[in-house]
Amino acid sequence: MKSENRIWTVRDVLEWTVNYLAEKGLPFPRQDVEYLLSYVLKTTRLKLYMLLDRPMSRSELNLFKQLVKRRVKREPLQYITGVAYLWKYEFLVDRGVFIPRRETETLIEVAGKNLKGKEAFIADVGTGTGCILLSLLKDNPKLRGVGTDISKKAAELFLKNRARLRLTDRAFIAVSDCLSCFPEEPMFDAVVSNPPYVKSDEIPKLQDEISLYEPREALDGGRDGLSFIRRLVREAPAYVKEGGFVAIEVGEGQAEAVKFLMKQAGLQKIEIHRDLSHIERVVVGWKL
Ligand SMILES: C[S@@+](CC[C@H](N)C(=O)[O-])C[C@H]1O[C@@H](n2cnc3c(N)ncnc32)[C@H](O)[C@@H]1O
């Protein structure tokens, strides 16, 4: 995008940049450009198409160029725009904290159904932005809960998301290794978690957006991907009340192994739930 004196309309910029990003090998260039332009013009992707003939100001163009440079280096869109959408809600995200993924909606849906209408206290282990816990609490006004995360940065973001969703009186955060900050007694009606579950040697093979930018401790599940889950399944039941449950998001092909681990840990009525892509995604075990 050169020629200092030329007037660039939104349409010109859109078309030029879609081609540019395609040349750079970005897989979804139009989607990227629509999000980045909407961000710069403080509008939505839908409304962007009503602004096509609007000339862009010099400062808008400068900001847009900076964002495109970051995207070309494969920085995830959500880190560039600072937000991610999950379930029915918008969450602030930032470098150093895991970006919420669509597949996690299966855990929110399954846990939400089990908790519907109940007055319950729940824990979300490895809460990150808080997307699971805050969605559950927002949907069900009788729930209270606490998120734990080893990452201080995640805890800071959790607090911002909690305030934006007006859940300050019901949602809490602890910077903690797994559940170790709590006394080991049955205090929760449910423990939910989307833990790190990628095999260590698969991380460098993931797309650059993940391997270069997302925090390793949010991804790394050790040699077989199950290190953290093994520990969580072993430890969580002691914190769950009778009649409560443990619900864990798992990676593709891990569900049967996690079901076995839950049985070993004394959990019962174990269920496996599939996500929208029909992948076995969530394992639930009950303490009866
Ligand atoms: C896959 S991310 C999930 C984040 C968020 N719950 C979500 O679904 O978007 C896993 C999270 O676990 C946290 N984590 C990793 N090891 C942990 C540990 N030992 N104790 C607590 N949290 C941990 C990471 O910091 C990260 O936020």
* Nearest alpha carbon, ligand 1 atom 6: 127
Indicate if 44 and 114 belong to the same structural domain: no
User: What was the pLDDT predicted at 6?
Assistant: 87
Report pLDDT digits (tens) over 78-109: 999 999 999 999 999 999 999 999 999 999 99
Q: What is the pLDDT of residues 115-173, one digit of tens each?
A: 999 999 999 999 999 999 999 999 999 999 999 999 999 999 999 999 999 999 999 99
Residue 4 inside a domain? The answer is no
Q: Is residue 3 a part of any domain in this protein?
A: no
Q: Do 87 and 68 have their domain in common?
A: no
- Torsions phi, psi of 222, nearest 5? 80, -165
Question: Does residue 2 sit within a domain?
Answer: no
In a domain, 1, yes or no: no
Q: Of the candidates 73, 108, 123, which is a domain's last residue?
A: 73
Q: Widest CA span of the chain, in angstroms? A: 72
**Does residue 167 contact residue 138 with C-beta atoms inside 8 Å?**
yes
The verdict on 46 and 94 lying in the same domain is no
Tell me, yes or no, whether 138 and 279 share the same domain.
Answer: yes
Mark whether 143 and 197 lie in a shared domain: yes
Long-range pairs for 97-101 at CB < 8 Å and ≥24 separation?
A: 97/128, 97/129, 97/151, 97/153, 97/154, 97/157, 97/215, 97/218, 98/128, 98/129, 98/154, 98/214, 98/215, 98/218, 98/219, 99/214, 100/128, 100/129, 100/131
Residue 156 and residue 194 share a domain: yes
Q: Give the pLDDT confidence of 213-269 residue by residue, as tens digits.
A: 999 999 999 999 999 999 999 999 999 999 999 999 999 999 999 999 999 999 999
Which CATH number characterizes residue 263's domain?
Answer: 3.40.50.150
Q: Work out whether strand 268-274 and strand 188-193 pair parallel, antiparallel, or are unpaired.
A: unpaired
**Residue 122 within a domain:** yes
For residues 123 and 189, state if they share a domain. Answer: yes
22-48 average pLDDT score: 96
Q: Alpha-carbon distance 237 to 267, whole Å?
A: 7
Residue 23's pLDDT is what? 98
> Do 193 and 241 fall within a single domain?
yes
Residues annotated as catalytic (active site), given as ranges: 98, 194-195
Q: Are 141 and 233 within one domain? A: yes
Q: Which domain holds residue 189?
A: 83-286
Domain count of the chain? 2
Ligand 1 pocket at CB < 6 A: 98, 100, 104, 125-129, 131-132, 148-151, 154, 177-178, 194-196, 217-218
pLDDT at position 176: 97
Residue 189: pLDDT over 80: yes
* Predicted pLDDT of residue 4: 67
- For residues 167 and 195, membership in a common domain is answered with yes
